[in-house]
């Protein structure tokens, strides 16, 4: 069965991913206001009232801003790790149900298998996720201070990947952020640079089971990155590893201000929209 995915928002100003498989519809993170998420879902012709679950990666505001509001408004259960629940409690507000999951756990929602895996980040108990059915596997890994073998292993056999490319090292170094914040971004609890992602991606792609995988460079910093820079850095590294964009894979930068197009991934991975 096909899987539908759309990036509603990605970046330090807010993250939200829409995903559907059969009769299961999810949001992964809800880091914009409830109203803005409603607007963006409407733009891709999808209805927040149809959401079955809200999965949270970690408690930072750019991932949970609208989660409590949406959960109450549409009666949607939120899934998060124990540590994330504790850290996000105040920001999420009063909720009817709290679905707790482990940092490393596999569970089922309808025909969709969901797996969480730990990521190194300065949050209480942060995770990345993969989503799969018998035909398609999608992975989401952002907000990572560094790459672990556990993450690489979790991201094996993907058809579609949303991978962090947070900052360009030169832009960060020369930019206006205070030294303390620059250090935090580069720390083991911070974010991956374009360069780190570019070096790592060929290893992930080598295990892809799709002959035409889709990669979204995600969580780009507005201050310390440019989409064209992230794209070029990754493109060059892929080229060196023998991958040609367009022939061997689709590479995109995940959108920040407006939702991206709805992508339909099927077993041939001939997604609905090619550009």
Question: Using the rule CB under 5 A, which residue among 143, 159, 164, 271 binds Zn ion?
Answer: 143
d(CA 78, CA 71): 7
Give the three-state DSSP class for 129: strand
269 backbone φψ class: left, alpha, beta (φ>0; ψ -120 to 50) = left
121 vs 137 by CB, closer to Zn ion: 121
| Minimum CB distance to Zn ion smaller for 13 or for 113 | 13
Give the nearest residue (CB) to Zn ion.
Answer: 60
Whose CA is closest to 19, among 32, 35, 1?
A: 1
Number of residues that bind Zn ion (CB under 5 A): 3
The token duo for 275 is: 């550009």
Q: Using the minimum distance from each CB to Zn ion, give the nearer residue, 62 or 125.
A: 62
Give the SS3 label for residue 169.
Answer: helix
| Residue carrying structure tokens 């440019």 | 226
| Per CB under 5 A, 29 contacts Zn ion | no
Which is closer to Zn ion, CB of 115 or CB of 143? 143
60 lies in the site for Zn ion, by CB under 5 A: yes
DSSP annotation string for 60-128: SHHHHTTHHHHHHHHT--EEEEHHHHHHHHHHH---S-EEEE-SSEEEEETTEEEEEEE--SSSSS-EE
The binder of Zn ion chosen from 59, 62, 159, 196 (CB under 5 A) = 62
Give the interface segment with Zn ion, choosing from 111-119, 140-148, 172-180, 240-248 (CB under 5 A): 140-148
| Pick 25 or 84: Cβ nearer Zn ion | 84
How near is the Cβ of 256 to Zn ion at its closest, in Å? Answer: 12
| In the complex, least distance from residue 87 CB atom to Zn ion, rounded to whole angstroms | 11
Q: Should residue 164 be labelled a site residue for Zn ion when binding is judged by CB under 5 A?
A: no
State which residue, 12 or 132, has the beta carbon closest to Zn ion: 12
Provide the minimum distance between the beta carbon of 58 and Zn ion in the complex, in angstroms, as a whole number.
6
Cα–Cα distances in angstroms (integers) from residue 264 to residues 3, 24, 28, 107, 196, in the given order: 6, 15, 17, 23, 29
What does the binding site for Zn ion look like in residue numbers (CB under 5 A)?
A: 60, 62, 143
């Amino acid at each position: 069965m096909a899987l539908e995915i759309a990036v509603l928002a990605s970046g330090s100003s807010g993250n939200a991913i829409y995903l559907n498989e059969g009769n299961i519809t999810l949001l992964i993170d809800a880091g914009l206001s409830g109203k803005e998420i409603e607007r963006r879902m409407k733009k891709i012709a999808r209805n927040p009232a149809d959401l079955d679950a809200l999965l949270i990666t970690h408690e930072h505001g750019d991932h949970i801003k609208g989660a409590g509001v949406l959960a109450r408004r549409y009666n949607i259960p939120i899934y998060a790790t124990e540590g994330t629940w504790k850290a996000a409690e105040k920001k999420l507000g009063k909720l009817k149900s709290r679905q707790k999951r482990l940092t490393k756990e596999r569970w089922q929602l309808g025909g969709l298998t969901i797996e969480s895996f730990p990521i190194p980040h300065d949050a209480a108990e942060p995770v990345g996720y993969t989503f799969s059915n018998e035909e398609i596997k999608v992975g989401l890994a952002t907000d990572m201070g560094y790459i672990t073998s556990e993450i690489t292993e979790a991201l094996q056999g993907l058809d579609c990947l949303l991978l962090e490319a947070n900052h360009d090292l030169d832009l960060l170094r020369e930019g206006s952020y205070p030294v303390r914040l620059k250090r935090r971004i580069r720390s083991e609890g911070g974010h991956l640079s374009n360069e780190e992602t570019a070096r790592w991606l060929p290893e992930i792609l080598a295990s892809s089971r799709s002959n035409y995988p889709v990669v979204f460079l995600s969580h780009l910093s507005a201050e310390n990155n440019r989409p064209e820079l992230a794209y070029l850095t990754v493109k060059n590294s892929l080229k060196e590893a023998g991958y040609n964009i367009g022939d061997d894979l689709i590479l995109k930068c995940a959108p920040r201000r407006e939702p991206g197009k709805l992508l339909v991934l099927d077993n041939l991975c001939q997604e609905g929209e090619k550009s």
